[in-house]
A and B are shown apart, each in its own frame.
Chain A
Amino acid sequence: MMELLLSTLRLSTPLIFAAMGGFLCERSGVATICLEGVLLTSAWAAATVTYLTHSPYLGAIAALIVGGFTMFIHAFLTVKAKADQIISGVVVNLIAAGMTPLLTKLLFGSPTNTKAIPISERFSSTTLTVVACLLPFTLYALVYRTGLGLRLLAAGDGPEALETSGVSSQKVRLWAMSLAGMVIGLGGVYLSTAHASQFTRDMTAGRGYIALTALIFGKWRPIPTFVSCLFFGLADALQIQLQSNPIFGHTFPVQALQAFPYIVTLLVLVGFIGNAKPPLAIGK
């Protein structure tokens, strides 16, 4: 039981970082299909820089910078160039999926993975999990109790009102999204240097999308989103347990278990929340 709980927390951590980044971005009025891509590039940066410099902290800083920059591409396309938010998100995911193996091959000879980081140079996963659990409450205070948060909410729910109050909603979005990129970057650090010891091709494996669904399921509020991340983490943990422990003498085919979190997500999405109300300016 304790094991399941710990495993749930471990598996929820990257989801929480990604979902909280998504929270900041979507609350400012921009859809974030690109969580997956940001998670991927920052995971790559963390593993690569940690391996090259032997410092997990430099690796983490690199991940934050790369995560922030990847999100900035999305921000530039959507906010400055006013491109379609979904298309821009898909592009960012494409870039991430294309660049990471290319650069990996360039630096390490093989496109599939970076070299393993020795255990002494890995990031503490406990620290990151604790940070992830505190993050939703910090963001709650930041967004719902401060002047900056007020501007963020206004950029998402009434950008015109914000503009006529003399504040540029574009600037608010650019800042919010860059910050979001860094938050997601922590998820990347966790994936490649704490949870695992190297970057592998497509190692995010859909976590960005699950985080996005957790955000929707949490109705774009930080605490409920946190709870739904834990829920998806639990689904994943159960899946792993079922793989190793046959039930009633049957082992499930691994694909059924792989599909399990997605099916749960889909059922949750269409069954329980139906018409959730996103921030009003999203998609515009």
Chain B
Amino acid sequence: MKFSFSKKAVIAPLVALAVSASVISLFLVCMGESPSILVEAFTSTFFNSFGLGYTLYYTTPLILTGLSVALSFHAGLFNIGSEGQLHLGAIAIVALSCFFPNLPSFLAVPLGVLVALIFGGIWGMIAGYFKAKRGSHEVIVTILLNFIGIILVNYLILYPFKNTEVQNPETVEIGKGYVLPLLSDFTTLLGSDFFLTTPVNITLFLSIIAAILCYLFLFHTSKGYEIRALGQNPTAAEFNGIAVGANFILVLTLSGALSGLVGVNEVMGYHHKLIEGFSPQYGFTGIAVALIARNHPLGIILSALLFGAIHNGAREIEFLSEKMTKEVSVIMEALIIIIIASQPYFVRLFSKSKKEGAK
């Protein structure tokens, strides 16, 4: 399949965005509030340094989970386990720092990234292994692994790695060497205050690099070719010397590793510790991100930006509105997915009525 940025690929998300924004405005009106809140919220997510900083901060994990879902999709697999995998990746960094708190940056940073990759990857690999060896459906297995992973991580946050000096459910702080620079650190060097006090950090670039690597891997290497072939037609792939099981394990491992990187953004990039419930369902939003981008790794950068903005905007709406909660972002996401997913139906309906009109 050739993925290109055709007109349709751009128009559909825009229509979806417009429709879902209208629905939310309607909601606001019904609640007796002004829909201008929506406009206000969304301009603030892009058009000032503070809002943009937060939008980009939310974009970072969504690029990663979007890639995680998309990669498995190309192999015909559905990785719903991103949420669990990113928890594992995050706690791995905390654990590493607890064992080696005083590592210098040049060791701590790559090792931190590596353990996030490895532990996220292991959580994905388990699903891949069961899929390959026992034929268990990856959707169910990854859902269960989500529950188990999150409970496990919450336990680790509350007991072994707990910061006993505070009441909140959070871990001790990681060592200084693990801390990644914020983008505002760079702008300050240049004498500007852009991005100041926002959490966007260099993990953003890491995730963009990951997207580019995923693109090259999927569309320009033999292994990527094998994976896409497997996803489109596993039987034909098998008849042509492509190992099904081994590739399933590989893909889900890589997919888990990408989700694991979310931990880098959260722990090394901003909070410098792990807080219970830190992920506002980045994993599930990743499904929407991948869907809108039609699983194209580069498109995912853009669709993650869109969802990052929605997420940031929803927080803004909660702040501005008396009655709306931040769940408005979930509803907006859901509406966008529904519109994109049912696009063939509406296209059919539309072309039919046009045809009949012509007669």
Contacts and interface: CB of A to CB of B under 8 A. Distances in A.
A209 B141 CA distance: 10
A270 B136 contact: yes
A266 B144 contact: yes
Interface string B87-120: 0000000000000000000000000000000000
A253 B162 CA distance: 14
Contacts of B39: none
Contacts of B323: 105-106
A271 B154 CA distance: 27
B6 interface: no
A274 B323 CA distance: 48
A269 B141 contact: yes
Interface string A81-103: 11110111011011101110110
Contacts of B324: 102
Interface size class of A (residues with CB under 8 A): 35 or more
Interface stretch (A172-180, A218-226, A255-263): A255-263
Interface in B138-170: 139-141, 143-145, 147-148, 151-152, 154-155, 158-159
Interface string A249-281: 000010110110011011001110011000000
Contacts of B238: none
Contacts, number: 118
B284 interface: yes
Nearest to A209: B143
B130 interface: yes
A255 B155 contact: yes
Contacts of A230: none
Interface string B14-25: 000000000000
Given A94-B331, A270-B136, A271-B134, 20 more contacts: A80-B345, A83-B342, A87-B291, A87-B341, A88-B341, A98-B331, A99-B331, A101-B325, A106-B323, A253-B155, A253-B159, A255-B152, A259-B148, A262-B144, A262-B151, A265-B144, A266-B148, A270-B134, A274-B134, A274-B135
21 contacts: A73-B338, A80-B342, A80-B345, A81-B342, A81-B346, A82-B344, A82-B345, A94-B284, A94-B333, A97-B327, A97-B330, A99-B331, A105-B323, A209-B144, A209-B147, A212-B140, A213-B140, A255-B154, A256-B155, A259-B151, A262-B144
Interface of A: 33, 73, 76-77, 80-84, 86-88, 90-91, 93-95, 97-99, 101-102, 105-106, 111, 206, 209, 212-213, 216, 253, 255-256, 258-259, 262-263, 265-266, 269-271, 274-275
Interface of B: 31, 78, 80, 130, 134-137, 139-141, 143-145, 147-148, 151-152, 154-155, 158-159, 284, 287, 291, 323-325, 327-331, 333-334, 337-338, 341-346
